[in-house]
């Protein structure tokens, strides 16, 4: 019997990110406040399309965008994120 595609082992099953994921860049990089798309995933880095080109970042500087950030179409500050979690 053939297994489901979702259950098959792929090189992406153990990755934190997938190509096309909506992400925000860590607040350590202050000028990047928008939602970005991942274009490539590597072992320790990801390529993120930032509108003017591709930026290669270590995975520790990128996190998945929350639902509230997706609705706002930007990265939220820590205070805004805390308020969004409460409401």
SS3 for 67? helix
How many other β-carbons are positioned within 10 Å of the β-carbon of residue 78?
A: 8
Digit-coded pLDDT (tens) for 5-57:
444 444 544 558 999 999 999 877 667 889 999 999 999 999 999 989 999 99
Q: Which tokens hold the place of 53?
A: 């080109």
CA separation for the pair 53, 59 (Å, rounded) = 18
Digit-coded pLDDT (tens) for 17-31:
999 999 999 877 667
Q: Which tokens hold the place of 16?
A: 């934190």
Predicted structure pTM score: 0.70
Q: Which CATH number fits domain 14-86: 2.30.30, 3.40.50, 2.60.40, 1.10.287?
A: 2.30.30
Domain boundaries, the chain: 14-86
SS3 for 15? coil
Q: Which tokens hold the place of 35?
A: 């939602």
Containing 36, the helix (H) or strand (E) segment is strand 36-41
């Amino acid at each position: 019997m053939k297994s489901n595609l979702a259950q098959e082992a792929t090189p992406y099953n153990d990755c934190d990110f997938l190509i096309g994921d909506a992400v925000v860049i860590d607040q350590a990089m202050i000028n990047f406040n928008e939602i970005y798309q991942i274009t490539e995933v590597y072992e320790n880095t990801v390529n993120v399309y930032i509108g003017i080109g591709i930026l290669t970042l270590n995975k520790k500087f990128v996190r998945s965008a929350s639902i509230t950030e997706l609705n706002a179409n930007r990265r939220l500050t820590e205070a805004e994120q805390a308020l969004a979690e409460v409401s």
